[in-house]
Amino acid sequence: MSVWALGINHHTAPLDLRGRFAFALDQIQPTLNGYRASLPRQPEATLLSTCNRTELYAAGDQAAVEPTLEWLAKTGGVGIHVLKDHSYVLREDQAARHAFRVASGLDSMVLGEAQILGQMKDAVRAADEAGALGTTLHQLFQRSFSVAKQVRSSTEIGAHSISMTAAAVRLAGQLFEDLKDIRVLFVGAGDMIELAATHFAAKTPKSMAIANRTLERGEKLAGRFGAEVMRLADIPDRLHEFDAVISCTASTLPIIGLGAVERALKKRRHRPMFMVDLAVPRDIEVEVKSLSDIYLYTVDDLANVVQTGKENRQAAVEQAEAIIDAGVLSFMHWMDQRNPQNGVVPLIQQIHAQADEWRSAEMARAKRLLAKGEPVDAVLEALARGLTQKMLHGPLAELRSGDAEARAATAHTISRLFLRDEAGKPPRQS
């Protein structure tokens, strides 16, 4: 059993390429099922997809890496060489370290951001529901969540974090003299839009509106902020009314096109518009950025803004990396114990099988005695004695055999195994 991760992220791939490999949460299960069905030996697998990354974590045969690259390239509609140029493959301890760093927010565009942890938990839950999450990946991700919790509770990694949505508000403040005088349109009603609406609402803009494919979800979010709700289909006719547009949907095609923005600018007599596209793939056509009086930012454009204060967190990063290193060592030790080549797992299985055999034999004997009318106390005493004798027969026989040196080594081992105190500590050697 080998652990590995294959992925692309904001460090290795441009936004438009990442957009080809973006999967909504409800797509993860069928995508995982299709991936595993494409291989002769199905590995454990989990698919993490956010605006900054798409990563497939797997536990299984290392030989599956190349077919996985081919499958992912085909899924995204790109040549395998294109994907190889922008992707990474991490194995064993490096894969574990990467998972722990991602969960802890150390590999995010916004250093220390907390949203990724919830996204990882959603991805793991989807993999579990798809039947793709086995023992190894379960351990990997549960340990990554534990490490992330420790990083957040014992370091200040997120103390100075600037979120994407907060960065958007900061940029809007640089364009408009007073955010109280602007009208803001939010496109979508997911977590990112909720965060954006929260940040903008704190600046008390003149008005806010939420456009969403599902009116019910849009109305629920709009009710929190006293915002108007509208349909996506209404955007082209009403776009000119808004000074700022923040968009983040799961649409596979752009929602706001070049023509709609050009018409809106004409109606606005070319008063500037501030637009933020937080979606991957894009919600706003890339050509919009070339228009005069349009200030369009994508998730990648916000990278420099959110790095503010990064230097102040270097000490926290070093502390977090130390916690992650310890977590990686612990996970790899667990993996090593499960390796059939080191003999530990088969031995544990044999010990359990032998213990079950002894238990069954003594239980059968006890039932026969009870059926004959023997007193219950006497039967229980015989049951306990029989199990004790079976457990001690081997160790005691070893103590009586061999030369003095072999008996001394056996005595030391048996003392550690059988004479521990209540706290589980072995006895002190005299």
Any idea which residues carry the catalytic annotation? 51
Angle at 105 between CA 302 and CA 196, to 5 degrees: 45
How far apart are the C-alpha atoms of 29 and 18, rounded to whole Å? Answer: 19
Task: Determine what percent of the chain falls in helix, strand and coil, rounding each to the nearest 5.
Answer: 60, 15, 30
Q: Report cis status (omega within 30 of 0) of the bond before 254.
A: no
Q: Among positive and negative, which fits the CA dihedral 125, 24, 16, 292?
A: negative
- Nearest alpha-carbon partner for 162 in 113, 199, 106, 204: 113
DSSP string, 75-137: HHTS-HHHHHHH-EEEEHHHHHHHHHHHHTTSSSSSTT-SHHHHHHHHHHHHHHHTT---HHH
Q: Are 238 and 229 in contact (CB under 8 A)?
A: no
230 and 210 in contact (C-beta within 8 Å)?
Answer: yes
Residue 209 CA, chain-centre distance (Å), reads 32
Q: Which two tokens stand for residue 265?
A: 């600018």
CB < 8 Å & 24+ apart, contacts of 253-259:
253/281, 254/282, 254/283, 254/284, 254/285, 255/187, 255/283, 255/284, 256/187, 256/283, 256/284, 256/285, 256/288, 257/285, 257/288, 258/285, 258/287, 258/288, 258/291
The token pair that represents 259 in the structure block: 């023509």
Place of tokens 């940029």: 171
Which residues, 6 or more positions from 206, have their beta carbon under 8 angstroms from its beta carbon?
180, 181, 182, 183
Count CB neighbours of 340 within 10 A. Answer: 9
